[in-house]
Amino acid sequence: METYSLTVNGATREVEADPSTPILWVLRDHLDLSGTKFGCGIAQCGACTVHLNGVAVRSCQLPIAAVGDQEITTIEGLSENGDHPVQQAWLAHDVPQCGYCQAGQIMTAAAFLKENPNPTDQEIENAMHGNICRCGTYTRIKAAVKTASNS
Amino acid sequence: MLGFPWLASCEMSAEKVKALPKEWFELNGFLKIGDNGLVTIMSPNPEIGQNVKTSMPMIVAEELDALWDDVIVEQAPLNTAIFRRQLAGGSQSIRQGWESLRMAGATARHMLKEAAAKAWGVASNEISTDAGMLYHEATNKKASYGEMASAAAQIEVPESVALKDLKDFKIIGTSRKNVDGPKIVTGKPLFGLDYKKEGMLIAMIIHPPAFGMEFKDMNATAVEQMPGIKAVFTIKTVLDDYAKQWCDTDSFNEIAVVVGATTWQVMQAKKALEVQWVKASEKVEKIQGFGGNSFDAKVPSGLENTSDHEKKMAWMDTQKAKTVRKDGNPEAMFKKAATIIERTYTCPHLAHNTLEPMNFFADVTEDQATLVGPIQTPEAMEKSVAHRLGMPVEKIDIQMTRMGGGFGRRLYGHFLTEAAAISQEMKAPIKLIYTREDDMTQGSYRPAYRATYRAALDQENNLIAFHVKAGGVPESPLAANRFPAGALDHYLAETWEVESNISVGAFRAPRSNFIAGAEQAFLDEVAEATGKDPIQFRLDLLARAQSNPVGENNDYDAARYAGVLELVREKANWGDNDSGLHRGVAAYFCHNSYVANVLDMVVENGQPVVEKVYCAVDCGIVVNPDAAINLSEGGIVDGIGHALYSAMSFKEGVPQQQNFDTYRLIRHSEAPKKIQVDFVQNEIAPTGLGEPTFPPVIGALANALYRATGRRHYNQPFITDKPLVG
């Protein structure tokens, strides 16, 4: 067990945990941030996606010891009032069915659009490939990403 | 949808968030009205992503004549005395809730009118309502529901009142946003896995690594010392004298349990725990039947292999089977046929793989058991939990959270009894969590199936007899009274079964999820042999089933079945096929709704790509159109994905796929590029949509693949059957 000082959603948070503890479980168990989800634990489903210095990463494979002073942003910190263009687009297209994958989808999309603000369909599909939606909202997700890219 | 003011539609406006009412007045168990006109409506059924949490309250709000923007939705507590049926399964929520939800809204509206009538000294039948307001035209009086709520709550609840005419609907039939949308996109805690309570411990289980094995012993000493670990022990999920309900199916009764402070600590401990397993002998389980009887079900011993399942199924196909329906004299017709077409279709076991793994919270004290989490069958599980804990049912409180997917997996609530037993043992609140590996290897699978179809054709290539023989591990997928039964003078349906100890359960559209695709692919081959257009071939058979049906027990309405084929033919511009598309068609009726698909495939870089799927649906009145489209899209993607990519297999009883690196699910780039859903417009009371759009799309996929590649695929998953090359 060690003590770490993390920057999460703009705030400094102190966490005592084993160095191998994935940020996914730090967020959910230690920091009361359950927006980031557990789906597989091996970076195959994308439900655990957060931003590390603005880059989308799978937090189930990011041990706390590796973070240092890099800034973590979770779905809860993506915007003040849910008004990030990606979140707005998700609501405009009424994307979710069960909703469990959507935080991860949104985080991947938000980071992707920062890098590529005007993507083609193919580019969107490639960027989102690591995010599984078991309910099959893929066509809506793609439409929402396009809408967000236009706003 | 673009440019839609999302703030207004999907979230309470800032004024409403600030101004929650000072007081709520409960008019009935379904709804309460605040003094400022806000309306809280309870959504009775568990939410698995089928969006009943929006559509069920819409039905109440309609008959109440509330303004939808004034409505707040809450998940109802488990109380079947008020809410009747609180089960998510069988695509029945809207169909079975339709009348009672309407009546709940209508009786409350009646009480508001009575209250206004009293206050104004006028006759109640002179009062009209609209969007949360009451009006008396003659005297120009008006009042909001908020103003009348207190008085209305005093009025006696009527038994039943007149319901609205369908033409007066203002909410039903219009698209409303998912009531949980804003919470979902901002990561609010909604799911079972998110539920937390102060002092809660984390528990995980270890079940045998193979079906046909059971717990022998374990060495917990080292693990008990690991950081954060509180206890290591075993539990039995059901007690020896218990007759299981259908929802108590679980593969492994005695399992190891690790309890600790945090999830990661427990995961590490679980990995380190040395457990010995031993081959299980054959068992007999008591299962509750109907009418208070119980019957014995055998669980065979042995470590099973998928390769053996396949061999056994192939062998069963050559043996005498059980006739479940016979019309006319099929044997004679086959004897004198000019041509016989015979094809065999198979599919593997599947794991449900809800994205949220199994989990449940339990806090069991001497006097009370509180359970919170994702479950499709809370009412039935109350009894199982009560028995397991040795407590009366009245002391069991099960609260439903939103679920990260169901697909039938969460009908089987063994994880509630496990969580309850663990909490009782620990004398502490616990959250039980399954890892993806625990979940994927636990069982409750979609069975493996095999179906052989034969068609007899005469000299003119007319279809003169039809034979289907279908079975599976461990059950047959066949519904013998479905189309084309009833359309054919000579028809034979047979079933067989291969016993197995690999546990199975209902998977989205049970049995239909395989047999529809097989049947619809076979009909395509028969249509081709008769030289008929595949849609016209089906319509001709349906015309016969409608005008002069064969037999009596035909489990479909031929006119409605033809209706979806005609609609999809129109919407897809079928026949206008000079666009380089390769098209497959299929249709099916299950879970009370009719669905037809046209699937368009293109070949890109030698690979077949699903360009577009057309889907025509007859589910009666559509409550929430855009949500119904979303759910239909989901069923289509789900069907295509599993047929193309997914399989669960076994070696020596061990599931060979344990996570998403080896169990393939469909991803973004593999989904159809476009999906179009159209509904038949009619005034039939609503039927379900959770399942009906899954089965037929697999037939359309197989048929499109044939036109795109020149090869027919008979064995799912198609990707491993033979290369998908253009």
- pLDDT tens digits, one per residue of B628-662: 999 999 999 999 999 999 999 999 999 999 999 99
Across B605-617, average pLDDT: 93
Please give the Cα distance from B343 to B713 (Å, whole number).
11
Residue range(s) defining the domain that contains residue A47: 2-77
Q: Check A91 against B185: CB less than 8 A apart.
A: yes
Q: Are A136 and A101 within one domain? A: yes
Predicted local confidence at residue B407, as pLDDT: 98
Question: Quick one: pLDDT band at residue B606, thresholds 50, 70, 90?
Answer: confident
Over residues B409-437, the mean pLDDT reads 98
Residue where one domain finishes, among candidates A77, A106, A123: A77
* Least confident piece of the model among B51-55, B247-251, B472-476, B618-622: B247-251
A134 vs B180, B191, B354: nearest CB: B354
Query: Is residue A72 located within the same domain as residue A7?
Result: yes
pLDDT, greater one: B445 or B292 = B445
**Which pLDDT score is estimated for B18?**
47
A97, A134: one domain: yes
Which residue from B181, B264, B635 is facing A18, i.e. has the nearest CB?
B264
Last residue of a domain, one of A52, A77, A102: A77
Between chains, do A98 and B405 touch, taking CB under 8 Å as contact? yes
Same domain for A59 and A8:
yes
| The pLDDT value given to residue B580 | 74
Nearest to B227 among A18, A40, A134 (CB): A18
Residue A100 and residue A73 in one domain? no
Cβ neighbours of A47 in B, within 8 Å: 355
Within this chain, do residues A71 and A90 fall inside the same structural domain, yes or no? Answer: no
- pLDDT over threshold 90, residue B14: no
Mean pLDDT of chain B: 95
Provide the 3-class DSSP secondary structure of residue B55. Answer: helix
Does A122 lie in the same domain as A140?
A: yes
Name the DSSP letter for residue B374. -
Cα gap B221→B616, rounded to integer Å: 61
B362-399, pLDDT tens digit by residue?
999 999 999 999 999 999 999 999 999 999 999 999 99
Residue A60's pLDDT is 98
CA distances for A147 relative to A88, A109, A124, A150, B176, angstroms: 9, 12, 12, 5, 19
List chain B domain ranges.
Answer: 6-180, 192-285+358-433, 511-721
Angle between helices A138-150 and B625-645 (to 10 degrees): 120
Residue A118 and residue A102 in one domain = yes
Q: What is the CATH number of the domain that holds A61?
A: 3.10.20.30
Task: Count Cβ atoms within 10 A of the Cβ of residue A120 and give its class: 0-12 exposed, 13-18 middle, 19 or more buried.
Answer: exposed
Q: Which CATH architecture has domain B511-721?
A: 2-Layer Sandwich (3.30)
> Which pLDDT does position B70 carry in this prediction?
96
- Where residue A99 sits, what CATH number does that domain have? 1.10.150.120
Amino acid at A137: T
CATH of domain B192-285+358-433: 3.30.365.10
Quote the pLDDT of residue B292.
74
In B, minimum Cα distance to A142 occurs at B668
Same domain assignment for residues A105 and A72: no
Residues A95 and A127 in one domain: yes
Of the candidates B6, B50, B407, which has its C-beta nearest A92's C-beta? B6
pLDDT tens readout for residues B310-352: 999 999 999 999 999 999 999 999 999 999 999 999 999 999 9
Chain A positions in Cβ-Cβ contact with residue B674 (cut-off 8 Å): 139
Asked if B55 reaches chain A (Cβ–Cβ under 8 Å), the answer is no
Q: Hey, are the CB atoms on A142 and B354 less than 8 Å from each other? A: no
What pLDDT, in 10s, does the model give residues B253-298?
Answer: 899 999 999 999 999 999 999 999 999 999 999 898 877 788 888 9
> B671 and A139 in contact by Cβ < 8 A?
yes
Q: How confident is the model at residue B4 (pLDDT cuts 50, 70, 90)?
A: very low
Q: pLDDT value at position B11?
A: 42
Interface contact flag, B630 A140, Cβ < 8 Å: yes
pLDDT of residue B577: 60
* B625 at interface of A, judged by CB pairs closer than 8 A: no
B20-26 average pLDDT score: 95
Are A18 and A58 in a shared domain?
Answer: yes
Interface of A with B in 61-100 (CB under 8 A): 74-76, 78-79, 82, 87-88, 90-100
- Sequential DSSP letters for B267-298: HHHHHH-EEEEEEPPPEEEEEE-STT-EEEEE
CA distances from B422 to B361, B680, B682 (A): 10, 50, 51
Q: Which of A45, A74, A137 sits opposite B660 (nearest CB)?
A: A45
- Model confidence at B251, pLDDT cuts 50, 70, 90, reads low
CB contact under 8 A, A99 and B661: no
Half-sphere exposure of B210 (CA within 13 A, CB side): 18
CB within 8 Å of chain B, chain A residues 26-65: 28-30, 32-42, 44-45, 47
CA B151 to each of CA A109, B356, B430: distance values in angstroms, whole numbers, following the listed order: 51, 45, 44
pLDDT mean across residues, chain A:
98
Q: What is residue B1's predicted lDDT score, i.e. its pLDDT?
A: 31
Q: How many domains does chain A have?
A: 2
- pTM of this prediction? 0.96
CATH of domain B6-180: 3.30.365.10
- pLDDT, position B12: 45
Q: Tell me the chain B residues in contact with residue A133 when contact means C-beta distances shorter than 8 Å.
A: 355
Structure tokens that stand for B680 in this block: 């038949």
